[in-house]
Amino acid sequence: MKTYIVGNWKLNFNVGESSIYLHKLQKKIPICRNVEVVIAPSTIALQPLSLQIDRHKMKLAAQNAFYRDYGAFTGETSFTQLRGVVDYCIIGHSERRYIFDEDDKMIEKKVAAAVRNKITPILCIGETESERAFGETADVIRDQLLGGLRDVSEEDIDKVIIAYEPVWAISSTKAAKYASPYDVADAIKLIRSTIEELYDKKVAEELPVLFGGSVNPSNAGGYLTVPGVNGLLMGGSSLILSEFVDIIDIAKRVKS
């Protein structure tokens, strides 16, 4: 199974800055069949970067898209419009859930639209600090998985990637807020057991599951060696060229 290293640039870099960063990144990393490097720039940079990117070295992801294919939806970009431009789309990120009030029904439609348009959804799930404190982690993970995958058939589930991003560990600056490998291992087991209930054991074993939550070069190796973790989704470290390259190199060493 591939290891996925996904960099979510969020609301950073204009088109020119994105192009310069991509140029430098492509010079730093070789082709590696077992590690899939994915970058998710802002929507405005996707089309020009799609002409620049070396798809043998890395792939493009959208940070968001609308679930309707076309129509009177001012300001939106559809999965249909992104088809052929990106290979992946991040869906259900905590910032979309908690800042933009996207609920499971909206996320369910987006996942289905991505699959329909042959774009791999990276479905983000994870509990907040208060949910964790009240012992609701298992319920949140199950509910978000059930909601996001409701319209995904057994024939299409192999076109989906899950990313566990505990909200309380995203952008952490204090060591106490970092998710330990034990925390991650427990969540991954729960995710895979829930997938087995929804589909079957083979799907649960083979579905790629990523971890995201204040990933950096010092902890990336530890997370990548957690049983059942197939890659990393990161924000801040993907914006710093040296750190992103280091994490890609770590993933290659762990994979080998």
Known catalytic residues? 93, 165
Residue 21: closest CA among 173, 219, 243: 243
Q: What are φ and ψ of residue 41, in 5° steps?
A: -80, 180
Q: What are φ and ψ of residue 57, in 5° steps?
A: -100, -35
Radius of gyration of the chain (CA): 17
Alpha helices in 4-82 (DSSP H): 15-28, 43-52, 79-82
Coil vs helix vs strand at 204: helix
- Which residues 6+ apart lie within 8 Å of 173 measured at CB? none
Does residue 66 come out as left (phi exceeding 0), alpha (psi in the -120 to 50 range) or beta? beta
Longest dimension (CA), the chain: 49
